[in-house]
Amino acid sequence: MKFSKFILFLVLISLPLALATTVTTDKTSYASGEIVKISGTCDGASKSVALQAAIGVNSVWFKQTTAGSDKAFSIDFTPPQTGKFTLLAACNGETAKSINFNVGITAAPDIPPDNKSPGSSSGSPSSCTPLFECSALSYCNASLKQTQTCTDTKFCKPYYVNVKNCTVCEESWVCSIWSSCNYGTQDRTCTDLHLCGTTVKKPAEQQPCQQFTASAPPSQEYTPPSTYPTTGQEATPPVVTGETTTVWEDYKLYIIGLGAFILLAFITVILILLLRKPKQVYNLDELKEWVVKERQMGTSDADIRTILAQSTGWKEPEIQRAFGELGA
């Protein structure tokens, strides 16, 4: 009975590990400019995966991808500089996983767990004093956990991942620009970069729009009177002297002018419909509001620019304008 309880205990404590994200790189040390091949798995198919690379506390790369039907994902990363990198990966709703790798540097030899330098005699104290630098805490995820990676810059001790509890997953929605008018509505796509799995603060992804419609001027026709006015007595046909004239001869200039006006108006309407471009409504104020919120949460301007450039439909001039109006 005791043995079966022990087996059940092992199964229970292993379940969270089975549901955690896994991530690995093809090597642990790379030459400067060499591509880092990243791969990993989620506990479910078609899950969103957020990846971040940092040197110390400075984030240098952020990317989102999606796991395939086999629950696996892979992506390439070209490091922008040399140094000791920490890579964080998290599938939506899962515990983040971190690994380290070096670019353009030679890793120091591993230090034994007893903190003795390699080759030192038993009992002699180590001359290596660790100096840890920790990354900023990650966002509060759907599991209500925050993580940070602490790395010994002197290579005396191995790195470790610090995990802290948090109270609520903070949604951070960023939206693409509005589409052109289509049957009276405009659409856009909004993504929660913090992958909370909730939609409490999700902005609207559809709104009505007004589409300009040009109308041609009403047509005008001349209809001659069918009868002459009467005065109570039988009308007397007018006396015609000289040559007899027709309606066309009397009013041909007016008829030609009116026809030309109607034709010109029709051509103008057609050109307006063919050449005009639907007016697009840009939610620049919402973009600036999102940037301010990310700053308040501790995200650097460089990371915000990278997220907007790689994960949304915003163009560089629009991003520059938003930061310019915010004084950055």
Q: What is the pLDDT of residues 3-25, one digit of tens each?
A: 444 444 444 444 444 467 899 99
Most trustworthy range by pLDDT among 34-43, 163-172, 217-226: 34-43
Residue ranges covered by each domain of the chain: 19-112+129-165, 173-211+279-325
Q: How far apart are CA 83 and CA 56, in angstroms?
A: 9
Q: What is the mean pLDDT of the chain?
A: 76
Q: Where are the beta strands (DSSP E) in 78-205?
A: 83-91, 97-103, 132-134, 145-152, 160-165, 173-175, 185-187, 190-192
Q: Which of 169, 174, 141, 168 is nearest to 289 (CA)?
A: 174
Whether residue 39 is predicted with pLDDT greater than 90 in this model: the reply is: yes
Domain 19-112+129-165 CATH assignment equals 2.60.40.1930: yes
pTM: 0.35
- Residue 113 pLDDT level (bands cut at 50, 70, 90): very low
Model pLDDT for residues 76-93, shown as the tens digit of each residue: 999 988 878 888 788 887
pLDDT of residue 242: 52
Q: Which of 286, 290, 54 is nearest to 170 (CA)?
A: 290
Helix ranges, 276-312 (H): 284-296, 301-311
Sheet holding 29-30, edge to edge: 29-30, 97-103, 83-91, 48-55, 58-66
The DSSP element (H or E) to which 255 belongs, if any, is helix 247-275
- Residue 126 pLDDT level (bands cut at 50, 70, 90): low
